Structure formats: structure tokens, C-alpha cells
Amino acid sequence: MKGKKIILGITGSIAAYKAAYLVRAFIKKGAEVQVVMTPAGKEFITPVTLSALTGKPVISEFFTANDGTWHSHVDLGLWADVMVIAPATASTIGKMANGIADNMLITTYLSAKAPVFVAPAMDLDMFAHPSTRHNLDLLRSYGNYIIEPGVGELASHLEGKGRMEEPDKIVAFIEDFFASRQELAKKKIVITAGPTYEKIDPVRFIGNYSSGKMGFALAEECAMRGADVVLIAGPVSLKTNYPSIRRIDVESAQEMYEAALREFPESDAAVMCAAVADYAPDHYSDVKIKRSGDDMVLQLRPNPDIAAALGKIKRPDQVLAGFALETDNEEENALLKLRRKNLDFIVLNSLQDSGAGFRCDTNKVTILTARGVRTSFDVKPKREVAADIVSVLSGNMKSTEE
């Protein structure tokens, strides 16, 4: 953290008193801190305390009233290596999510080019409200990092989730970020995600329940660690706004196959996370197929196996990973797939485990490598599962370089 330039945004929460400890911790680590406060933030902690700790005047207004100096939020946004908003109230989170730039902190946020960390602080009911959850999801989708609040006694004397994370934990979170950030710098990683749709006629298709969440979480995790990601996505309703993720939208397995084959030779690694339809209708009807009353037979033909095709052209300096969703003989089947497709490792989802697989926000995986290493993880949110998988990917990529 030495020499890092940090903008600390402080908003109107009782937890604002902890911001003084946060400033002190950043300064002790050798960082330079510029505090930006909302008007409500100043009701909870005086700017004098904060400017004494940082050695810089606190910025809160667009102009300094006595001499008319304009504070450029654009310059400030460019100056920072990182922006931290702690404590972040429900109101500030809502304004950030929706671009309501009515104070210096929000304009600075909208101008910031640096990674942004948000440490929410509010009462448990406010934190649990769907609007807060939705706004936090929006911030995540903009590539911001949410430092989840802790559980404990709140200013209202109620017990629950909403207490701003402790300053030393916030510092540790950001230190970890700087440590892991460049791990995948200059690496190009291809990720397939979501289902494929195989057209039957203009209104019908064969598809599956894959949401694409796991693949998108992987893409964002790789981007966070500095990689350039090519995300080849089947039809999903997800959005991602990371500048280093190039998204290629496809519909069918054939389109996904062509995109993957085009991108892979220039890549350092590929993770095959898509639930690709194994078969497609042999014949596409240009007109809607009418009900005839009789039984109907749909002739299917096999789709290309994308992972296996990449496995065939894989060079020794490239890493290829796949997923296996199994219902029985899980590890045995996963290892067969790993060999058949020439993968470096395979991520096994067992449908026997609750909280794993399609259509949920959590997953439980076991990773099996071609070198015979087996690692089993607990049920976790897909974002955390993505972090585990990318750590294994990064380790494999390092060993191909050695």
C-alpha cells in the first residue's frame, strides 16, 4: 500500500467515526489519503479530525466558499489508485448505482478510473431491503467491490447484518486486492458461459437451465486479476461492464464452437463453463411447425464438442479447463472427461449436493487436475467459487511457464 493514492469517501452514518481509524491505518501503511465527505458525513465526524490525520484539507463542496476555488472531481478521479467509500449509506449506494451526482463524492465516484471499494453501513432492515440489494448488485456489475458488512449490534441496538466492516479488515481486503491484482496481467483468457439454444423452428429451440452466472463470475474474477477476457456467452440475461472483458454473444453450439476456435490460438488459457447442447435438430424448419395430432419425432445430430476441439489444438504453454455436471459416479466420470478432452483440470459439480449446479447463486465444487491433485471446496457463493477456480487456473498457468 506504500505510495498508493487513496480517496476515502465518508457518508452520513454513525460508523463515520471509524473512518478516522481507517485513515490512520492507511497512512501508517504509507498511503496518501484524500478525504471526500458528503454533507451528512460532516454531521457525524468533523473534517478537522480527518484533515489533521491526512495532512490535506477535506473536500466536501464543489467550491471552497471563501475563495471560490473549484474542486475538480475529474482530476481527483484520475489522481486516485483506489477509491474507498466507508461508511457507505443506503442513500449513497443508491445514488452511485443510479448516477445521481448531487454531491462531490458521487461526482468523484463517476469520474474515478480507479477500482472502487464500498463498505456499506446501515441498519439490518435497510441492508436487507430489496432496493439496497438491487443497488449493491448494480455496483458489483459496474466492477465495484463490496466489502460486506459484519453481523453484530447496530446503532439501533438491534442485532443483525449491517455493521460496517472493521477498519483493519477493510485495509486487509484492499491489500489483498493489490497483491492479487496483477497476477494475470497480460494474459488472455477465453471463457464460455451460459446455455446454447438449438433452433427447431422460428419460435422453438432446445435449451437448458444454465444461467451463465458461474461463467460470468469467472470472467469477472479473471478481469479483476488483470487478465484480458474473451467471454463467449450463450443466451443469458446477465450484464457485465468490466472494460477488460470482451463479450461475444452467440446462440448455438456451432456459433460458440466457431468463436472459441477463432479466439483460442491467441490465448493463454480457456475455461469451458458453458452448458453446451450435445445435439441439435437435424433439420431447421423455416416455418412454424403445426400441431398434427400424431406423435412427432425430432431427428437430432451431434454438435461439435468445443472443449475436445480445443484440447486437440492445445499447445504446451496453454491451459484448458472444463466443467463436469454429474449425477452419478461423479469423480470417475469427471476424470474420463478430463482425459477425453485433454483438459488440465476439471471442475466437478455434483447434482447430489444441495446448493450446487444450475439456477442458484451458490455452488459446491471439487477440482481434479490432470496431475492427480484433488481439492474439494465447501458450498459458497458463485463469486467465491470463481475465486477458488481462478486461483487453480493461475497456478496451472504459472506451471506451464516453468
Contact call for residue 307 and ligand CTP (CB under 6 A): yes
Between strands 204-206 and 198-201, the pairing is antiparallel
Least separation in angstroms between CB 96 and ligand CTP = 35
Q: Phi and psi at residue 18, in whole multiples of 5°?
A: -70, -15
Nearest to 203 by CA among 286, 141, 100: 286
Q: Which is nearer to ligand CTP, 11 or 350 (CB)?
A: 350
Least separation in angstroms between CB 246 and ligand CTP = 19
How far is residue 351's CA from residue 71's CA, in Å, rounded to a whole number?
A: 56
N-to-C CA span, the chain = 29
HEC profile for 289-351?
CCCCCCCCCCCEEECCCHHHHHHHHCCCCCEEEEEEEECCCHHHHHHHHHHHCCCCEEEEEEC
Contacts with ligand CTP, 117-156, as mask; x by CB under 6 A: ----------------------------------------
Least separation in angstroms between CB 195 and ligand CTP = 11
Contact call for residue 323 and ligand CTP (CB under 6 A): yes
Q: Which is nearer to ligand CTP, 81 or 278 (CB)?
A: 278
**No. of helices (H) and no. of strands (E), the chain:** 14, 21
How far is residue 347's CA from residue 97's CA, in Å, rounded to a whole number?
A: 34
How far is residue 42's CA from residue 228's CA, in Å, rounded to a whole number?
A: 41
Q: Which is nearer to ligand CTP, 165 or 305 (CB)?
A: 305
Contact 207, 278 (CB under 8 A): no
Q: Which is nearer to ligand CTP, 6 or 218 (CB)?
A: 218
Binding residue for ligand CTP, selected from 123, 221, 305, 388, defined by CB under 6 A: 305
Binding residue for ligand CTP, selected from 149, 162, 322, 357, defined by CB under 6 A: 322
Binding residue for ligand CTP, selected from 213, 314, 337, 383, defined by CB under 6 A: 337
Say whether 208 is catalytic: yes
- Cis (ω within 30 of 0) for the bond into 302? no
Least separation in angstroms between CB 221 and ligand CTP = 17
- β strands within 102-197, DSSP E: 116-120, 145-146, 150-153, 159-163, 188-193
**Catalytic residue chosen out of the listed positions 98, 135, 144, 208:** 208
Q: Which is nearer to ligand CTP, 117 or 323 (CB)?
A: 323
Least separation in angstroms between CB 323 and ligand CTP = 4
Q: Which is nearer to ligand CTP, 162 or 322 (CB)?
A: 322
Least separation in angstroms between CB 338 and ligand CTP = 9
Contact call for residue 368 and ligand CTP (CB under 6 A): no
Contact 288, 202 (CB under 8 A): yes
Strand partners, 279: 302
Q: Which is nearer to ligand CTP, 127 or 323 (CB)?
A: 323
Contacts with ligand CTP, 186-225, as mask; x by CB under 6 A: ------x---------------------------------
373: Cβ contacts below 8 Å, ≥ 6 apart: 367
Binding residue for ligand CTP, selected from 324, 335, 385, 392, defined by CB under 6 A: 324
Nearest to 51 by CA among 67, 33, 75, 73: 33
Site for ligand CTP in 272-291 (CB under 6 A): 272, 274, 276, 278
Q: Measured at CB, which residue is nearest to ligand CTP?
A: 322
Q: For 28-50, give one letter per residue: b (16+ CB within 10 A) or e.
A: eeebbbbbbbbebbbebbebeeb
Cβ neighbours around 75 below 10 Å, total = 10
Site for ligand CTP in 237-276 (CB under 6 A): 253, 272, 274, 276
Least separation in angstroms between CB 265 and ligand CTP = 16
Catalytic positions, written as ranges: 208
Binding site for ligand CTP (CB under 6 A): 192, 253, 272, 274, 276, 278, 303, 305-307, 322-325, 337
